[in-house]
Chain A
Amino acid sequence: MSNIQELEAKIKDLEEKLASATQKNVREKIETMSSEVVDSNPYSRLMALKRMGIVNNYERIREFTVAVVGIGGVGSVTAEMLTRCGIGRLILFDYDKVELANMNRLFFQPHQSGLSKVEAAADTLRNINPDVDIHTYNYNITTVDSFDNFTNVLTTSSLTDGPVELILSCVDNFEARFAINTACNEFNLTWFESGVSENAVSGHIQFISPGETACFACAPPLIVASNIDEKTLKRDGVCAASLPTTMGIVAGFLVQNTLKYLLQFGQVTNYLGYSALTDFFPTMNLKPNPNCDDLNCRKRQKEFELKPKPEVAVEAKEEEKPVHEDNEWGISLVEESVDERDVTVSEGVTLAYTFPDQSSIEECQEATSNDVSLDELMAQMKSI
């Protein structure tokens, strides 16, 4: 049995080995991106996109700041792709720690368990590409304590101290998506929502430009049909499943569309779904809901209406066809149908639920706020 000193010495030795293993071949920063094809230039293949006429000005990628919220199975891979692409600044948000239970996903390594996800990710990413300026924030964005800092970072952290160019939501829960949506509507920030279903066999990305496309509150969450018979889907004993494949695919879609948006090539897809069991990829455009619950969304819609629209290119017009106008096979409702708020969704995509049915629970009494003060109520609650 080793004593504590021996164990400590062993840990120190291992830490040194780890440090030397990870510090090998650390390169210096590169001042300007070059297309020169030499084995020491990490950007030559990216700059080749320019020579081939795919992207006009690849090196502009260095001017952009992207915030990635949620550094889990999708977010970590997203951050790695952006780092390898040479993004100017990357801002990472997460409050969680790396766990061994995360090892079925890409990116993180067992020796990082116990570290905060943002710090562990930043270490790896700086090592992969020291040119990327990485900032980390280790907190839960949905709490009142953190939300103001979160919005402050998003609105002031670009390379010119303005709002970040794009926010990528890679979170795994509804509350955090809603917090991002609230912030982006309020401060007019463009973002991508992404997600993988809890059964791990479907996913999606959605481009949200406040006022121009549907926000996350405009319609109930969309679900990509997984073609699994609900009766055979067992939820007993587990919350969620995850596959590195589905997460990697969704991260790929997300970063691909991020590059198209930032570097202005190709077309940015408004909504792209993925059904793993059938390899089915529904796409569609989602218009904002004029009756959206979010006041700032409605405000952005009015602003957008007043903005002069750029002429739509002829070839782009032809591509708009896949939007399905009728929804007779599109919407399947969890609850009895009520107000669909004119949401038209593509084949293979459904709404998670419909908006409130005002008559569902009538026999309840209301909690009326009378003259009792909050302090009195708090005291009363304590004394029950």
Chain B
Amino acid sequence: MVDESTRKTLSTIPLLKTKAGPRDKELWVERLKEEYQSLIKYVQNNKEADNDWFRLESNKEGTKWFGKCWFIHDLLKYEFDVEFDIPVTYPTTAPEIALPELDGKTAKMYRGGKICLSDHFKPLWGRNVPRFGIGHAMALGLGPWLAVEIPDLIAKGVISYKEKNRIGYRVEFIKTYLLL
């Protein structure tokens, strides 16, 4: 089930070891440090591989995360806000990643813009508690979702490329020029 490309992606994200959730005071700080270290390494690896696709940060307690993710389609960069809460039962249960601005635009979402994960995600996560962290949720959950859904939404005309700073659009996209 873990195919070669998934395996390759996973190998660029350091694993975690502390099994602690936000209700476990000191251990949670330990876990958070691992989360950040794993994420930093993953983002650096992405940059090196010319595959930089998200930024995340959290509140002080590490319970609320927010940032941006982007997807490049036909040389245009489509950028979206990402947000999620760390559930009290984390890391046994994965965070539910949401793209609020796409809420209501696709059937592949639950309420509040939470992305619909593949049948494979939860079993894979469940089998890798507590070693998988936020980076893994992004790589195995959000990454494949964007790759399938964004081109489809663009093709259907549900989202379209917009220049920055034009007022009145719910979804804001940032134009970038790719250097080949």
Q: A residues touching B (Cβ–Cβ < 8 Å)?
A: 96, 99, 140, 142-145, 147, 173-175, 178-179, 181-182, 217, 220, 235, 237-240, 293, 334-335, 352-357, 360-361, 363-369, 372-374, 377-378, 380-382, 384
**Residue in A145, A361, A384 whose beta carbon sits within 8 Å of that of B44 in the complex:** A384
In the assembled complex, the Cα of A96 lies from the Cα of B114 at a distance in Å of: 13
In the assembled complex, the Cα of A142 lies from the Cα of B86 at a distance in Å of: 8
Contact A175 to B127, CB < 8 A, known contacts A239-B110, A367-B41, A378-B58: no
Chain B residues with CB under 8 Å of A179's CB are 87-89
Q: Is B76 an interface residue (CB 8 A)?
A: no
| Contact in complex: A384, B40 (CB < 8 Å) | yes
Q: Is B7 an interface residue (CB 8 A)?
A: yes
Q: Which residue from chain A places its CB closest to the CB of B6 in the assembled complex? A: A361
Q: With both chains docked as a complex, state the minimum distance between the C-beta of B30 and any C-beta of chain A, in angstroms.
A: 6
| Contact in complex: A239, B127 (CB < 8 Å) | no
In the assembled complex, the Cα of A380 lies from the Cα of B37 at a distance in Å of: 9
| Contact in complex: B86, A144 (CB < 8 Å) | yes
Q: List B residues 1-38 near A (Cβ within 8 Å).
A: 1-2, 7, 10-11, 13-18, 22-23, 29-30, 32-38
**Residue in A220, A335, A367 whose beta carbon sits within 8 Å of that of B37 in the complex:** A367
In the assembled complex, the Cα of A125 lies from the Cα of B180 at a distance in Å of: 63
| Contact in complex: A144, B107 (CB < 8 Å) | no
| Contact in complex: B33, A369 (CB < 8 Å) | yes
Chain B residues with CB under 8 Å of A382's CB are 57
Q: How large is the interface on B (under 10, 10 to 19, 20 to 34, 35 or more residues)?
A: 35 or more
**Residue in A99, A178, A354 whose beta carbon sits within 8 Å of that of B92 in the complex:** A178
Chain A residues with CB under 8 Å of B22's CB are 144
| Contact in complex: A361, B88 (CB < 8 Å) | no
Chain B residues with CB under 8 Å of A374's CB are 29, 32-33, 36, 62
Q: With both chains docked as a complex, state the minimum distance between the C-beta of B56 and any C-beta of chain A, in angstroms.
A: 7
Q: Is B129 an interface residue (CB 8 A)?
A: yes
| Contact in complex: B17, A366 (CB < 8 Å) | yes
| Contact in complex: B89, A182 (CB < 8 Å) | yes
Contact A144 to B88, CB < 8 A, known contacts A335-B127, A374-B29: yes
**Residue in A140, A366, A381 whose beta carbon sits within 8 Å of that of B15 in the complex:** A366
| Contact in complex: A377, B87 (CB < 8 Å) | no
Chain B residues with CB under 8 Å of A175's CB are 87, 89, 93-94, 96
Q: Which residue from chain B places its CB closest to the CB of A220 in the assembled complex? A: B126
Which of A181, A378, A380 has the most CB atoms of chain B within a 10 A radius of its CB? A378
Chain B residues with CB under 8 Å of A381's CB are 36, 39-40, 43, 56-57
| Contact in complex: A237, B37 (CB < 8 Å) | no
| Contact in complex: A369, B108 (CB < 8 Å) | no
Q: List B residues 69-100 near A (Cβ within 8 Å).
A: 85-89, 92-94, 96
Contact A293 to B126, CB < 8 A, known contacts A144-B86, A335-B1, A364-B11: no
